[in-house]
Structure 1
Amino acid sequence: MKLKALLKNILLLLLLMTGTTVSAQIPPLDTSIVIQTPNLQQEQFYDTLENRANRRKLTGWLYDAIITPPRPYVDKKALALDYFKNYEGKIIAEIKINALDVFGPTCTDTTKKADHWAERAANKIHTKSNLKTIRKLLLFKIGDRLNPELMYENERIIRDLSYIKDVRIYLEQDPIYPGLVNVLVLTKDRFSFGVSGGVNGTRSGDIEIYNRNIFGVGHEVSVKFVGHVEKEPYLGVETFYTIKNIAGRFLDIRLGYLNTYRREGFAIDFNKPFLTQNIKWGYGGYSARMFRTDRITNNDPVKVDDPMDLSANYIWGGRSFNISPRHENATELVVSTGINNWNFFERPAVAPENSHFFSNHTLYMMGLTISQRRYIQDQLIYSYGITEDIPEGFKNELIYGYDANEFGDRHYLHFFTSNGNLLLSRNGYLFTTAGVGGYLKEGHFEEGMIYGDVNFISKLHTAGRKRVRTFVDLNYTLGIRRFDIENLSLEVNDHIRGFDSDIAVGKQRLNLKLEHVVFLPRQFYKFNIALFGFADVGAIGSNSELIFKQDYYTGLGLGIRLHNENLVFETFRLRLAFYPFHPDDESFIGFALDEQSKQRFISFEPTGPEPVRFE
């Protein structure tokens, strides 16, 4: 802190030496009284200082490197609700929908035009969202009385769609009848075509072509070609088709066919979530028939060498009850049931102590969830300049299950709790989760785990024209009487980024991740740029000793991310990492050029009952 203060004093001295002043300019007063708040005076001081500093290259560089003016907190949700409340209770007389071009216009300035030939060509190729498709997403209709909270929620739901960049709902009082209001819904699409892919060493690779809004109706289609130079089929395919919001009931269905060297089979899943607290019934499920696969589920951390032939089926349903209807932040109680079934037609050859892991069994579950959720708006967290909806609230979940298992019936218990709130003084966001779960058989606790996670996101700081955030994630997981074949790693979910080791595994893991992100104001060929540096440390090993006595591994690195919010493409990432304490099967230096999927906030939305995953 002393060093930073000294540097600031040096900057002020340089400004004086170059003939500039840093005194705030106070406008002449008239007969009215002008009162300046401390925040306004402080903001005026930094604005004046920045303008003076930018007159010289040296002082301008010093300002960007040293000075970080405070960024006043703006409650965007409160502003939006205040706007809608001006029309609260009025009857909706008309609803108009306008889908904007991908490039050029914005929801705040519809007169803007695409300024490059490639953007104009993309606008012609792209099929805008069908107006009927957008209308099916609306939670209100003509004749309803305007509800400000419902309007805000509707913007959030539409904005969360993968093919929508932004949405704004504008209101206008009817010029003749003051009790009526007209509604204009503006939506801005993302360019719906995308391509992704990657290479895994010199033996395998894949490339995927997809459309997130085919024909403008919100459906998704993807085709992935997967190849391997040694394993058959040498060139395979994975294809999926998703139908969104069937009949306007927010029911999605996804169909898939897979035939690659990894797996062959069919899959279908469907989901009608508790999208808002007004939805009374939620349900969903999936069914997969795999004739050949190396994993029980698509993202299962347990991988086997011998192919399996199996079917996996799951179905759930639940009813929501509002238990605090008059409270500003409604609390809901959800009662749910679910059935999970695994049936193996051909099992892998494994050690006898692991054979129970591949058992034929049916798990009958009941869940009780109490949750509260609300959302606020911010920017530059996981996205690049667009509005992001950050959840606040809590979720407490208790699940009981009965496992009808070919190797002996048993009971299942699971408790989960999570909380997320804006910190006092608007200093950032803090999310916490914790849980314990496992099976009870003949008085013994098996296949159990205890886990906890603390996730902190700092507020957005200003450094010149740049914006800066810090991310901290602390995670602990302990497995209790797990199968030998089940192991935690530091690779899954990037507990140490870029780390890839089959040696650093165990039944217990403690992990700390730190990341500092600088969002740059300039673009690279229309792509937003973010620089990041990270430091990860993880301890992993046996569950028979304290975690602090286990092996430690670290990862240090830096990188750059490129993303265009007008496209459905994933974020492109270039990363260089160093692993000072690395196992024998991991190198000291790691380099990666890949794609990064958009991270999601911890959700407090009630879901169907499922056993907790050990990963």
Structure 2
Amino acid sequence: MLRFLTISGFILLSIFQYSTAFSQVPLQDTFNLQKHEQFYDSLASHAKERTLTRLLYDALITPPRPYVDKKALALDYYSAAEGKVIAKIEIKALDVFGPTFTDTSKVAKGWAAQAANIIHTKSNLKTIEKQLLFKVGDILDGELMYENERIIRRLSYIRDVKIAYEQDSVYAGFVNITVFTKDRFSFGVSGGVSGTSSGDFEVYNRNIFGVGHEISMKFVGHVSRQPYLGIETYYKIKNIGGRFLDVNLGYLNTFRNEGYVFQVEKPFFTPNVKWGYGLFSSRMFRTDRISNNDPVRLQDPLNVSFNSAWGGRSINVTPRHQNATHLVLSAGMNTWKYFEDPVVPEENQHFFANHTLYMVGLTFSQRRYIQDQLIYSYGITEDIPEGLKNEFIYGYDANEYGDRQYLSFFTSNGNLLLSRKGYIYISAGIGGYLHNKRFEEGQIQGNLDFISKLGTIGRKQVRTFIDASYTLGIRRYEIENLNLGSRDFIRGFNSYLAVGKQRLSFKLEQVIFLPHQFYKFNMAIFGFADLGVIGSNNELIFRQDYYSGFGAGIRLHNENLVFQTLRLRLAFYPFHPADMQFVGFVLGEQSKQDFNSFEPTQPQPMRFE
């Protein structure tokens, strides 16, 4: 028994060392690497003496694996052609099913895949050409090629891209470029039901006619509220004129909302973009929330318009450094106008004031991207941002209940851990309004995300995800409340009773990517344990109400399709509030999670959600 506890403790200690490795200096010399490998060999030998410790070892311990710098490999590939002139550019769009970058002659097998290739319209070559950062006559730049692959991969209808070169057969100083792209099948459907009273069904195309435009149409129904059958439709035009300018149009008429939205945006999607700007207009004749993603919902409908405009200029303040730091100066304004007074208690009326918020921002940003797989996707290349972002915002709020000023500061940092044990992201911020010499509608927040390196259990590959988050509201309105269901602070937790002005959460998830497929769908098994503390902002958070959730499930996704991830999850909620059950079961869709970005954005007040 003592021996079993010793081995088990040894394994758990190694896990602790694994999860705190970011504070260690990487072991680079041969002697230390040999010691490191001997440690794991010895641990494996002792663990396999008993069945239980062997299972514990296989499930929790990942022996060290060499780190592969894919960017360095890519730059090494282009190094032989650096400085040569691009004489020709050819774009080849591969079928959705069948061919690969290593075997472009491979054909689809099975009638379904062949039919899908026929139905699907390949990306128009001019559409891909507008995404290129280089042209014939330019000097080949490896960094630019690496960045251009990332830009094309970010398109929702592109599965992957590879930019290859070939020495010109006539002139030694010329190279020919071939851009290989592989689309996703652009048609998709989605839907769900809410109890027995309402439901929706959506059909969409992420690459209509192969020109990169998006269209979606959602039918929303309710058995007792009019209109009994309504519609939400959107049309998005991407990269107008090759300027990376997007336009989005939308019309809504359902039992929830009636109105339209219009958006124009050119973001700082790459450090080379000098000017970013945007315009957003929303006119809702009937809606349950101020804006589409606002956390505050009302029973009685609002009649409101929201308009926003912004612009910014990026300046490279370290032009000679490989990891350039950019200073972004930006300005913007948000306007809220209510055409009818909302039906709310008197203490919340100021929250629905007619007002215009003028803002200026100062952002220091540094970012670069590395490549990896099996994080939020299933076997395709994922571009992970590294860098930092420090943002200062000052605003003046012209408010019908009295003018006030706004101030906020936000900082974030994310890098691969020193010993290449994973990825960690840390952020913190404080913001709020100054009115009559006091701080109001303010908040303090902090967040830490950790993603382990990819490990192995037999033929299976695994990752660990850890998240910790804290938010404190300062003099918020009564109608504004934090909860544990938004952003899945506790997965599947949906309660109107567990709310407050202060929240602390911890999330742990273990994901096992399975090597086999289910009808061409990649599979991942996951288990999770979440803890949330929520309550008043007048006491320490540790004196508030504690809730938890734990469970397991499976995700299925086909990267050749634009469909969202299918998810089956069973969860348990000990000491749950009265408006929830002990057991929660979910069978539905899950949007792919995005990486925390260091991209400068329009100046905006911090969101209390």
Match of 2:80 among 69, 83, 86: 86
Match of 2:175 among 161, 174, 181: 181
2:470 paired residue number:
476
Distance 1:331 1:62, change over 3 A: closer
Establish whether residue 282 from structure 1 lines up as the match of residue 239 from structure 2.
Answer: no
Establish whether residue 551 from structure 1 lines up as the match of residue 545 from structure 2.
Answer: yes
Question: What's the TM-score once normalised by structure 2's chain length?
Answer: 0.92
Residues 339 and 362, structure 1, Cα contact 8 Å, conserved in 2 = yes
Establish whether residue 313 from structure 1 lines up as the match of residue 319 from structure 2.
Answer: no
2:23 paired residue number:
none
**Equivalences for residues 112-127 of structure 1 within 5 A:** 112-127=106-121
Distance 1:114 1:61, change over 3 A: farther
Match of 1:135 among 129, 133, 150: 129
Establish whether residue 571 from structure 1 lines up as the match of residue 572 from structure 2.
Answer: no
1:190 paired residue number:
184
Q: CA deviation at 1:111?
A: 2.0
Establish whether residue 415 from structure 1 lines up as the match of residue 409 from structure 2.
Answer: yes
Distance 1:523 1:349, change over 3 A: same
2:458 paired residue number:
464
Establish whether residue 75 from structure 1 lines up as the match of residue 79 from structure 2.
Answer: no
Match of 1:587 among 581, 585, 588: 581
Establish whether residue 368 from structure 1 lines up as the match of residue 362 from structure 2.
Answer: yes
Q: Partners in 2 of 1:282 and 1:356 — Cα distance?
A: 33
- Show CA shifts across 1:100-142 (max 9, x none): 0000111222122111110011000000000000000000000
Residues 4 and 66, structure 1, Cα contact 8 Å, conserved in 2 = no
Establish whether residue 101 from structure 1 lines up as the match of residue 100 from structure 2.
Answer: no
Q: CA deviation at 1:285?
A: 2.2
**Equivalences for residues 388-427 of structure 1 within 5 A:** 388-427=382-421
Q: CA deviation at 1:63?
A: 10
Gaps of 5+ in 1: 8-34, 54-59
2:13 paired residue number:
none
Match of 2:509 among 508, 515, 540: 515
- Show CA shifts across 1:479-509 (max 9, x none): 0000000000001111100001000000000
Establish whether residue 428 from structure 1 lines up as the match of residue 422 from structure 2.
Answer: yes
- Show CA shifts across 1:180-205 (max 9, x none): 11100000000000001111111111
SS at structure 2 position matched to 1:346 = coil
Q: CA deviation at 1:5?
A: 9.6
Q: Partners in 2 of 1:458 and 1:61 — Cα distance?
A: 20
Distance 1:42 1:414, change over 3 A: closer
Q: CA deviation at 1:71?
A: 2.7
- Show CA shifts across 1:245-291 (max 9, x none): 00000000000000000010010111101121111100012100000
Match of 1:323 among 308, 317, 321: 317
2:381 paired residue number:
387
Q: Partners in 2 of 1:111 and 1:558 — Cα distance?
A: 41
Q: CA deviation at 1:444?
A: 0.8
1:250 paired residue number:
244
Distance 1:5 1:541, change over 3 A: closer
Q: Partners in 1 of 2:70 and 2:555 — Cα distance?
A: 27
Number of equivalent positions: 577
Q: Partners in 1 of 2:218 and 2:341 — Cα distance?
A: 27
Q: CA deviation at 1:65?
A: 6.3
Q: Partners in 1 of 2:245 and 2:76 — Cα distance?
A: 32
Structure 1 residue identity aligned to 2:478: D
Gaps of 5+ in 2: 9-29, 49-53
Question: What's the TM-score once normalised by structure 1's chain length?
Answer: 0.91
Q: CA deviation at 1:68?
A: 4.5
Q: CA deviation at 1:70?
A: 3.3
Q: Partners in 1 of 2:446 and 2:358 — Cα distance?
A: 26
Establish whether residue 454 from structure 1 lines up as the match of residue 448 from structure 2.
Answer: yes
Q: Partners in 1 of 2:408 and 2:599 — Cα distance?
A: 17
SS at structure 2 position matched to 1:150 = helix
Match of 1:291 among 285, 288, 293: 285
2:21 paired residue number:
none
Structure 2 residue identity aligned to 1:271: E
Q: Tell me the percent identity.
A: 69
Structure 2 residue identity aligned to 1:428: G
Match of 2:555 among 517, 536, 561: 561
C-alpha RMSD over aligned residues: 2.3
Distance 1:258 1:4, change over 3 A: farther
Stretch moving more, 286-295 or 72-81: 72-81
1:23 paired residue number:
none
Q: Partners in 2 of 1:195 and 1:66 — Cα distance?
A: 38
Residues 574 and 593, structure 1, Cα contact 8 Å, conserved in 2 = yes
Distance 1:193 1:337, change over 3 A: same
Q: Partners in 1 of 2:242 and 2:200 — Cα distance?
A: 35
Establish whether residue 335 from structure 1 lines up as the match of residue 345 from structure 2.
Answer: no
Distance 1:213 1:65, change over 3 A: same
Q: Partners in 1 of 2:256 and 2:207 — Cα distance?
A: 28
Q: Partners in 1 of 2:139 and 2:333 — Cα distance?
A: 40
Q: CA deviation at 1:2?
A: 6.6
- Show CA shifts across 1:553-587 (max 9, x none): 00010000000000000000000000012111111
- Runs of 4+ residues over 3 Å off in structure 1: 1-7, 35-39, 60-70
Q: CA deviation at 1:177?
A: 1.0
Residues 509 and 547, structure 1, Cα contact 8 Å, conserved in 2 = yes
Distance 1:215 1:3, change over 3 A: farther
- Show CA shifts across 1:358-398 (max 9, x none): 00000000000000000000000000000000000000000
Q: CA deviation at 1:64?
A: 6.7
Q: Partners in 1 of 2:83 and 2:541 — Cα distance?
A: 58
Structure 1 residue identity aligned to 2:323: N
Establish whether residue 263 from structure 1 lines up as the match of residue 257 from structure 2.
Answer: yes
Stretch moving more, 601-610 or 271-280: 271-280
Distance 1:62 1:421, change over 3 A: closer
Q: Partners in 1 of 2:61 and 2:535 — Cα distance?
A: 44
SS at structure 2 position matched to 1:457 = strand
Match of 2:431 among 426, 432, 437: 437
1:231 paired residue number:
225
Q: Partners in 2 of 1:382 and 1:128 — Cα distance?
A: 25
- Show CA shifts across 1:297-335 (max 9, x none): 112111111111111000000001000000010110000
- Show CA shifts across 1:496-534 (max 9, x none): 000010000000000001000000000000000000000
Match of 2:197 among 194, 203, 226: 203
